[in-house]
Chains A and B, each alone.
Chain A
């Protein structure tokens, strides 16, 4: 008798995550509560195919603001991120970067909104700060992986700066440029979404148009947005960068005033936990009550819902990826079908998950379902794109099986490992987004943060944001340890 083989670590991890997701799913609220979701969906579809570019005369300006915030935010993030990458060997810098990138740009925006109001500074900093943390990490990795051999040929006595300029920087430069382009695309999405909390970008008009049922205007706004992203490699040329940056500075309404006393009050009073601010004899016990009440009543349920939703979305993303990547894989589909697949994936991954969730929430009513669908669609489109591109490098033997047999026996076994690598790499991203979707009314951490801001309880909001950040850092480190245990690696192009 042949002994049964132990299941591989890969299979065990997959089963484990599947099991957790199913348990989360059982306890999740996924009901569709609107009375006639399909009628509204029909109206939306009708609007989508009849875009109205003249519905609002602020379309051009909204687009210009969206671009301006993204350009300035990403440019600043690049400068600071590069500087931080050079000193990334310092533990303080690494921890600091992990912290600032664990807070989503919308949370940063909510914080800066209290300090600078609707000044452009709010939008620019909200993008620049978390992005600087991400860029620092990626650039440090790029520099580490650069070809070190030429170092030996540098003459004895050459300074560190000169050596860096001539040996390490040149090879890394092309990677920096590619990554900056990817970051700019992310920046455009972030910038559009900032409109949902009041900044004058596309999201602002999108929300208004959607709430009023002007679906043709929604369609026009989205089409413009896709065009800007799809043509990015055409208009984003190095010599034009200074023009764009100066243009961005000019176009933003810097005249919006903010008061210094406001900022000082926010930093020195508003965010101090209320019992500490009030003082008095029982200060410490009052603070203990404040803390335990906040943690038990808000942070805990928020965390449970956030983790629950994240786990479902993560596994759903995995499944959808397996469906999406064949759409652009030359191993499985012909040229014509792949063109359709590319278009579909570009549209789905260019739509920020926040906007997808917002649309679905309005169609289906509040539950976890819109968030699950939005998160898994968006992330599966991103990973599916990368995996589909990866299959282009696979050479099958001439007599390889066709159709479903080819998919299951030839392709899937080859892509499964890189797919899991990317999936775990995005786990933390999914978590950050899950928390944020709370702003739309799903009871994740973002919901409690947003409510605290709405009630002007900034001390609570800040503590809840810190809890969210800690959760993020935990998931990031769990993901890293799983990836290293299973030896799952992502390449530079895939970050």
Chain B
């Protein structure tokens, strides 16, 4: 059964229509990258996917969006905020419970953030910051991750590490990416967005970055 199905739908924000004529089906286990120029509507499409998926999906927003005043533990714990009672959440805010610290630690170890668990997120480096945002999404129990430019502010080595972890730990991955080579390498399916429409939707196998040129050049070839 499909995870998500769009039939001739449109999307936008603040009452302004940005995308129209959307026909997409997403099945469990797919690894999808949305590609296209910045401003083409990738984020809008991603948000529509996330809204339809609901609690099944964890979101990694574009700017990481960590809570500055809290520690790595608290930010990661937020991935399961919806599955715990308010009292448990309040207790963990004031005095983290040992069991929950253990759970969070398990997610942090492979991301090399274990020793930062009680550091404020303000003290982290750019890469650690992005990995914390990933850890929060991984801690979320949903099978799907929806990530908007998850590797925009890290070097290529760290980018590969983040994308590999994502692919390994979540069943279904939906990304928006501006790096064409990485998109082709890590996704099985590419969805190209241009001029408010989906203009391309195909398997990535065998593609080269040059094949995506017409998504980026303004119609001039």
Contacts and interface: CB of A to CB of B under 8 A. Distances in A.
9 closest A-B pairs by CB: A170-B69, A158-B82, A157-B82, A158-B81, A149-B65, A155-B82, A162-B89, A150-B65, A156-B55
B67 A171 contact: yes
Nearest to B58: A155
B170 interface: no
Given A162-B82, A170-B70, A171-B69, 20 more contacts: A149-B61, A152-B59, A152-B61, A153-B137, A154-B81, A155-B58, A155-B78, A155-B79, A155-B81, A155-B142, A156-B54, A157-B55, A158-B82, A161-B89, A162-B81, A165-B86, A165-B89, A166-B67, A170-B74, A171-B67
A351 interface: no
A170 B67 contact: yes
Interface residues of A, number: 22
A157 B58 CA distance: 11
Contact of A149 (B58, B63, B78): B63
A163 B68 CA distance: 15
29 contacts: A147-B67, A149-B63, A149-B65, A150-B65, A150-B66, A150-B78, A152-B59, A153-B65, A153-B133, A153-B137, A154-B82, A155-B58, A155-B80, A155-B82, A156-B82, A157-B82, A159-B82, A162-B81, A162-B84, A162-B86, A163-B81, A165-B86, A165-B89, A166-B77, A166-B89, A167-B67, A170-B68, A171-B67, A171-B68
A456 B84 CA distance: 59
Interface string A163-196: 1011100110110000000000000000000000
A161 B88 CA distance: 12
B79 to A, nearest CB: 6
Contacts of A156: 54-55, 57, 82
A146 to B, nearest CB: 9
Contacts of B61: 149, 152-153
Contacts of B89: 161-162, 165-166
A242 to B, nearest CB: 15
A154 B77 CA distance: 10
A152 B57 CA distance: 12
A155 B61 CA distance: 12
Interface of A: 147, 149-159, 161-163, 165-167, 170-171, 173-174
Interface of B: 54-55, 57-61, 63, 65-70, 74, 77-84, 86, 89-90, 93, 133, 136-137, 140, 142
Nearest to A161: B86
- Which of A151, A162, A165, A171 has the most chain B CB atoms closer than 10 A to its own CB? A162
Given A149-B63, A162-B86, A166-B78, A157 B54 contact: yes
B140 A155 contact: yes
Contacts, number: 78
B219 to A, nearest CB: 33
Nearest to B93: A165
Contacts of B78: 150, 153-155, 166-167
Given A163-B81, A166-B93, A147 B68 contact: yes
A149 B61 CA distance: 9
A155 B53 CA distance: 11
Contacts of B59: 152-153
A149 to B, nearest CB: 4
Contacts of B67: 147, 150, 166-167, 170-171
- Which of A153, A158, A161, A163 has the most chain B CB atoms closer than 10 A to its own CB? A153
Contacts of A149: 61, 63, 65
Contacts of B84: 162
A309 to B, nearest CB: 44
Nearest to A152: B61
- Which of B59, B69, B90 has the most chain A CB atoms closer than 10 A to its own CB? B69
A171 B69 CA distance: 5
Contacts of A163: 81
Nearest to B84: A162
Contacts of B77: 166
B70 to A, nearest CB: 5
Contacts of A153: 59-61, 65, 78, 133, 136-137
A234 B80 CA distance: 39
A154 B139 CA distance: 12
A117 to B, nearest CB: 41
A381 B171 CA distance: 63
Contacts of B81: 154-155, 158, 162-163, 166
B141 to A, nearest CB: 9
Nearest to A148: B65
Contacts of B133: 153
A461 B166 CA distance: 71
A159 B86 contact: yes
A458 B37 CA distance: 73
Contacts of B60: 153
Nearest to A149: B65
A142 to B, nearest CB: 12
A172 to B, nearest CB: 8
A145 to B, nearest CB: 13
Contacts of A157: 54-55, 82
Contacts of A161: 86, 89
Contacts of B74: 166, 170
Contacts of A154: 78, 81-82
A163 B80 CA distance: 11
Contact of A173 (B58, B69, B136, B140): B69
A104 B61 CA distance: 47
A152 B86 CA distance: 19
B72 to A, nearest CB: 13
A156 B67 CA distance: 17
Contact of A165 (B55, B80, B90): B90
B48 to A, nearest CB: 14
B10 to A, nearest CB: 21
A157 to B, nearest CB: 4
B143 to A, nearest CB: 13
Contacts of A167: 67, 78
A237 B83 CA distance: 36
A150 B93 CA distance: 16
- Which of A155, A170, A171 has the most chain B CB atoms closer than 10 A to its own CB? A155
A163 B93 CA distance: 12
Nearest to B89: A162
A489 to B, nearest CB: 22
Nearest to A160: B86
A241 to B, nearest CB: 15
